[in-house]
Amino acid sequence: MSAPGQLIPLRSSEDARGKLVSVEALRDVPFAIERVYYIVAHEGAARGFHAHKTLEQLMICVSGSCRIILDDGSRRVHHALDRPDQGLIVGPMIWREMHEFSKDCVLLVLASAPYDEEDYIRDYETFATEVGKAA
């Protein structure tokens, strides 16, 4: 079984004017993009603390840095996001926590579906029970 989350390089081109990074659904991301949002957290804030039943996401730190903790019920993996040309794919039934936001952090999230409160699991014990049932 692979570790939760997958870091992927994003297509980019750079010249004297700067860097352009592009992301295309079903080419760079293994799902159709239905929702886009971004997080600008206060330095030192912690966010997330939930899993999604079916939602897939690609997280890109377009500015600054943050640390993402992913947990599949048997392993916890820490990912540092600090490059705008790298993304973290997070599949369904993965607990996620976001920590150590730098003061200039902007975390962009591309999601496979619109917001749906019914898709969230917001209690870790409930998540662990659900993951155990699926195993």
Model pLDDT for residues 30-63, shown as the tens digit of each residue:
999 999 999 998 877 999 999 999 999 999 999 9
pLDDT per position as a tens digit, 2-29: 778 999 999 999 999 999 999 999 999 9
> If we measure between CA atoms, which residue out of 53, 70, 77, 57 comes closest to residue 127?
53
Q: Cβ–Cβ contacts within 10 Å for residue 14, how many? A: 10
Q: Output the pLDDT for position 89.
A: 97
User: Could you tell me the pTM of the whole model?
Assistant: 0.92
pLDDT per position as a tens digit, 117-127: 999 999 999 99
Q: Are 58 and 89 in contact, with CB atoms under 8 Å apart?
A: yes
Q: Are 119 and 128 in contact, with CB atoms under 8 Å apart?
A: no
pLDDT at 135 over 70: no
- Does the annotation count 78 as an active-site position? no
Which of 42, 50, 52, 78 is the catalytic position? Answer: 50
CA distance readout (Å), 94 to 37, 42, 119, 127: 19, 24, 12, 9
36: tokens are 């886009």
SS3 114: coil
pLDDT at 1 over 60: no
State how far the Cα of 22 lies from the Cα of 4, in Å rounded to an integer. Answer: 24
Q: Are 61 and 83 in contact, with CB atoms under 8 Å apart?
A: yes
Q: Where are the domains positioned within the chain?
A: 23-134
Q: Which residues of 33-54 are buried (b: 16+ CB within 10 A; e: fewer)?
A: beeeeebebeeeeebeeebbee
Architecture of 23-134 per CATH? Sandwich (2.60)
Amino acid occupying residue 99: H
